[in-house]
Amino acid sequence: MSSTPSSFLHLAVALDGTGWHPASWREQSARPRDLFTAGYWADLVAEAERGLLDFVTLEDGLGLQSSHFGEPDGRTDQVRGRLDAVLIASRIAPLTRHIGLVPTVITTHTEPFHISKAIATLDYVSSGRAGLRVQIPPRPHEAAHFGRRTFPPFSLEGIQSPAGQELLTDHFDEAADYVEVVRRLWDSWEDDAEIRDVATGRFIDPDKLHYIDFEGRHFSVKGPSITPRPPQGQPLVTALAHQTIPYRLVARQADVGYVTPHDAGQARAVVAEIRAEQEAAGRGDELLHVFGDLVVFLDDEPAAAEDRRARLDALAGEPYTSDARIFAGTPAQLADLLQELTMEGLSGFRLRPAVAGHDLPAVTRGLVPELQRRGAFRTAYEADTLRGLLGLARPANRYATV
């Protein structure tokens, strides 16, 4: 089922360090000295909430950032190092009221039991505004941090070979099982499992806690969770996808998929493929959002945006490239593009600010008012939970008996 037709599109921003351009930290607005403070992230998310955005995603990783896809690059002229995305989100949650918080979670080396508990906790701390972004990086140097498994060298070219596709399928099947375990653990407490009756001395009803007894090729998890069912029932599950195998994960397990079409034709084809995979997964009647990802350089004049991009490229020593389309122009031009792509079946967009200190305010104070003038974006938050903002119902608990 495609998202419910509406004149409103959905908007999220992806926050990564000082911005997505590798030289962004050298801009006057970048605040690199504040990068590892809670206040820096709180300010960015507060700005996003002022713009009435649906949610922010927070990037994370288990290895240092690199300009090389599968290995460290040894560079010292770009931002290196991160704070933990889930912990940032939990720190920021009490400072915000409406915006969703979606940290990146690396499934490759973490345990689903821990992540289910962490995101359930985030949902409680935020009063129902939590989600997660599933990431599956099979990089050998990251595996070496954990010592429990090894991966062969990994390259973008190697992925396309039959052996690479087989390896990729295995990793994404593991991720699908991972999310399934997380979702079952969220349901392992029924909504009314906590009695909290002081008079009788009964705090919980043990009959409303359930073993999930998951047995798969990758995980064996008994359950139940130690955290009660989250306020949303099921926090938002999201994933970035670039080809058929990841599209299949989105179709099987996600509430929102991020895709990277570079034009309207590609957007139409990608949406069609995800919808077909959604039908094949037996989820054809469920609401699944497909968001387009774009890197954005926004200025009042198109030439200023292009000049800024060129200046940052010169500082970086090479042209910036991305998996996503790179847009440089005015908020009105970006609004035109988003409305055009919405016609191809995308229900929203996740914008990646090239320079967080510059392009995030350009989104909230330039793009959002432009979309509002066109009747294409909300003028107030109309729901208290992240699922509510996206039109997703609170799901029934799979273990509860009627």
How far are the Cα atoms of 124, 191, 206, 362 from residue 203, in angstroms, in the given order?
A: 19, 14, 9, 50
Q: Is the pLDDT of residue 62 over 90?
A: no
Is residue 395 very low, low, confident or very high in pLDDT (cuts 50, 70, 90)? very high
Task: Write down the pLDDT at residue 402.
Answer: 61
Enter the DSSP assignment of 33.
G
From 3-12, 195-204, 273-282, 378-387, the region with the lowest mean pLDDT: 3-12
Closest CA to 363 of 402, 385, 321, 334: 334
Binding-site members are: 60, 104
Average pLDDT for 222-251: 96
Q: Burial of 301 by CB count in 10 Å (0-12 exposed, 13-18 middle, 19+ buried)?
A: exposed
Which of 63-67, 91-95, 124-128, 256-260 has the least mean pLDDT? 63-67
Query: Going by C-beta distance under 8 Å and a sequence separation of 6 or more, which residues neighbour residue 222?
Result: 211, 212, 213, 214
Tokens 């000049």, residue located: 307
- Dihedral angle of Cα 252, 146, 91, 203, to the nearest 10 degrees: 70
Give the pLDDT mean for 96-101.
Answer: 98
Q: At what angle do helices 244-253 and 264-280 cross, to 10 degrees?
A: 50
Question: Mean per-residue pLDDT for 125-132?
Answer: 98
Q: Which helix (H) or strand (E) holds 195?
A: strand 194-197
| CA–CA separation, 219 and 233 (whole Å) | 22
Q: What is the pLDDT of residue 210?
A: 96
**What mean pLDDT comes out for the span 115-125?**
98
Of the pLDDT bands very low, low, confident and very high (cuts 50, 70, 90), residue 153 is confident
Give me the sign of the Cα torsion angle 134, 136, 141, 145: positive
Segment 144-160 shows an average pLDDT of 75
What pLDDT was estimated at residue 6?
52
Query: Do 177 and 212 touch, CB atoms closer than 8 A?
Result: no
Structure-token pair, residue 261: 């079409």
Contact by Cβ (8 Å): 56, 12: yes
Model confidence at 5: pLDDT above 70:
no
Is the separation of the CB atoms in 20 and 352 below 8 Å? yes
**Banded pLDDT at 109 (limits 50, 70, 90):** confident
The stretch 151-176 carries a mean pLDDT of 83
Residue type, 354: A
Interval 197-221: pLDDT, tens:
999 999 999 999 999 999 999 999 9
Going by the annotation, the residues of the binding site for FMN are: 60, 104
Residue 63: pLDDT band with limits 50, 70, 90: confident
| pTM assigned to the model | 0.94
| Percent of the chain clearing pLDDT 90 (strictly above) | 83
Give the mean pLDDT of the chain. Answer: 93
Q: Cα separation of 42 and 239, whole Å?
A: 24
